[in-house]
Each structure stands twice: as structure tokens, then as C-alpha cells.
């Protein structure tokens, strides 16, 4: 329970912070929303404030789409024949690839939280294009806790601090090609098999 709930949650926060540093326009919008809605000078943002913060929620959804903390979910064994899957087969679903499928996402490699603003796509239901928590009966039971923790932490950090990278580096200096352009990585990389 501790492993399922702690690593996953802080990984989302770290990715959200990384993406905000790479996208100053998104960072500005989060800060405007958080600072505007919580009220100037408010020291601590609470759960009640969060309900109004739609852009912040979209930022976390977009982060989960591109950076699911458990990219291959947990493997499951088919208990009966289903379509082409024979009973007894171990099934692994690659949520990382699902979140970047060009068949369901417009410009999937772009970090664009706005895509969730006028969209009903959510990870709680049966929108199978967004499954960082899996879906259905065996999905993650900690979704609400994870979302509350991430929203509260990110809102408080964005409200109280202006973040900058050290030594005047820009977001583009962050070295993360593997996460965006796996095809550019050497074919000797042992991780290529998952793509
Ligand atoms: C962003 C944060 C989190 C993500 C992305 C996440 C994702 C997942 C995923 C993908 C599974 C496996 C579902 C499957 O493949 O069957 C899972 C299972 C689980 N998660 Fe989470 N989780 C998160 C946070 C949490 C938190 C905060 C808790 C508890 C407070 C929690 C408790 C559990 C438990 C107990 C299971 C096992 C459920 C079962 O086997 O039936 N998770 N989670």
C-alpha cells in the first residue's frame, strides 16, 4: 500500500513540475489560476479552493497522459478466452503508448493541458485512451487520494514560489529526449522493446 501510494504520487508531482518548467506559458496560467482563485496573500490552499481550479486539474491529467508512473500497469492473466486472447495468457498493457497514440490524441507529443478543458475524457471511467490507473474493477483504489495530494501540493507550490532552473538554464536545456523521442535513442538501448 505504501509503495503503491507514495512513489506513484510523487512521480506525478515531479513530472508536472518538470513540464511546467519546460512550458513557461502553462506555468503562468497555473499561477494565475491558483493565485487568482485562492485570493491574494492566501498562505495555504485548501481542498475547497481546488474545486474551482480546472486548469490545474488539466495539468495533472496531461502529466498523467504523457508520464504514467506505472507505464506497463500490472500484468494480469486472462481467466477465460476473450477474442484472440487465450485463457492463461499473461496480458500487459502499455499505458505509456496508449497515452501517445496518434489514433486518439491530436499531436500526442505536445504537452498541452488545454486539450482536457472542454473534454469529458477522464481516468476514472471507461475512457480507454487515458488509463494511468487502469480501469474497471481492478483499477487503482487510490485515485481520489492521489489526485487530492497532487493537486494540493502543486497548487501550493505554484502559488507560493516562482520556479526557475539553476544557472539561467531554460526548460529546453532539460535533457529528456527519451521521454519524447524514443525513436532517436540508440537501437542498443535495452528499453526499446517496449515501443
Ligand atoms: C498518481 C498516483 C497513482 C497511480 C498512477 C496509480 C496507479 C495504479 C495502477 C496502474 C494500479 C494497478 C491496476 C492494475 O493494473 O490492476 C494500481 C493499483 C493499486 N493502487 Fe494505485 N496508483 C496511484 C496512487 C495510489 C495511492 C495514493 C494509493 C493508496 C493510498 C494506491 C493504492 C493502490 C492499491 C492498493 C493497488 C492494488 C489494487 C489491486 O490489486 O486490486 N495507489 N495503482
Backbone phi and psi for residue 99, each to the nearest 5 degrees, phi listed first = -75, -10
Q: Give the other-Cβ count within 10 Å of 134's Cβ.
A: 18
Among 8, 60, 124, the mutation site with the greatest number of ligand 1 atoms within 8 A of its Cβ is: 8
pLDDT the model gives residue 134: 94
pLDDT on residue 178: 62
3-state secondary structure of 166: helix
Closest residue CA from atom 32 of ligand 1? 142
Ligand 1: atom nearest CA of 145 is 27
Distance from the alpha carbon of residue 154 to the mean position of ligand 1, in angstroms = 20
Residue with CA nearest ligand 1 atom 19: 140
Q: Find all residues with CB under 8 Å of 140, minimum gap 6, and list them.
A: 4, 133, 134, 146
Question: How does pLDDT run across 58-93, given as a tens digit for each residue?
Answer: 999 999 999 999 999 999 999 999 999 999 999 999
Span between the terminal Cα atoms of the chain, in Å: 29
**Predicted confidence pLDDT, tens digits, the chain (195 residues):** 777 778 899 999 999 999 999 999 999 999 999 999 877 666 688 888 888 899 999 999 999 999 999 999 999 999 999 999 999 999 999 999 999 999 999 999 999 999 999 999 999 988 999 999 999 888 999 999 999 999 999 999 999 899 988 888 888 888 776 666 555 544 433 333 333
CA of 57 to the centre of ligand 1 (A): 19
Q: Enumerate residues lining ligand 1, CB below 6 A.
A: 1, 4-5, 8-9, 12, 69-70, 73-74, 132-134, 138-142, 145-146
pLDDT of residue 46: 86
Pick the residue whose CA is nearest to atom 24 on ligand 1: 5
Instruction: Mention every residue, 6+ apart, whose C-beta is less than 8 A from residue 11.
Output: 67, 69
Select the CATH number that applies to the domain covering 2-194 from these four: 1.10.3720.10, 2.30.40.10, 1.10.10.10, 1.10.630.10: 1.10.630.10
Kindly give the number of the ligand 1 atom that is closest to the alpha carbon of 12.
1
The predicted pLDDT at position 183 comes to: 53
pLDDT of residue 186: 44
The neighbour count for residue 64, using CB atoms within 10 Å, is 23
C-alpha dist (Å) from residue 178 to 15, 101, 134, 167: 14, 17, 23, 24
CA-closest candidate to residue 127, choices 139, 115, 135, 118: 135
State the DSSP code for 70: S
The pLDDT value given to residue 167: 83
Amino acid at each position: 500500500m505504501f509503495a503503491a501510494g507514495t512513489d506513484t504520487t510523487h512521480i506525478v508531482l515531479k513530472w508536472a513540475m518538470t513540464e511546467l518548467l519546460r512550458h513557461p506559458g502553462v506555468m503562468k496560467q497555473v499561477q494565475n489560476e491558483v493565485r487568482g482563485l485562492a485570493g491574494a496573500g492566501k498562505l495555504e490552499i485548501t481542498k475547497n479552493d481546488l474545486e474551482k481550479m480546472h486548469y490545474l486539474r488539466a495539468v495533472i491529467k496531461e502529466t498523467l497522459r504523457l508520464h504514467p508512473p506505472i507505464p506497463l500497469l500490472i500484468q494480469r492473466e486472462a481467466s477465460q478466452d476473450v477474442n484472440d486472447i487465450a485463457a492463461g495468457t499473461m496480458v500487459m498493457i502499455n499505458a505509456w503508448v496508449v497515452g501517445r497514440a496518434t489514433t486518439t490524441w491530436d499531436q500526442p507529443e505536445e504537452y498541452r493541458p488545454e486539450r482536457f478543458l472542454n473534454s469529458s475524457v477522464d481516468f476514472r471511467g471507461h475512457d480507454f485512451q487515458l488509463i494511468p490507473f487502469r480501469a474497471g474493477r481492478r483499477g487503482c483504489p487510490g485515485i481520489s487520494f492521489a489526485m487530492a495530494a497532487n493537486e494540493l501540493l502543486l497548487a501550493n507550490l505554484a502559488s507560493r514560489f516562482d520556479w526557475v532552473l539553476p544557472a539561467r538554464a531554460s526548460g529546453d536545456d532539460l535533457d529528456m529526449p527519451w521521454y519524447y523521442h524514443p525513436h532517436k535513442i540508440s537501437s542498443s538501448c535495452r528499453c526499446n522493446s517496449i515501443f
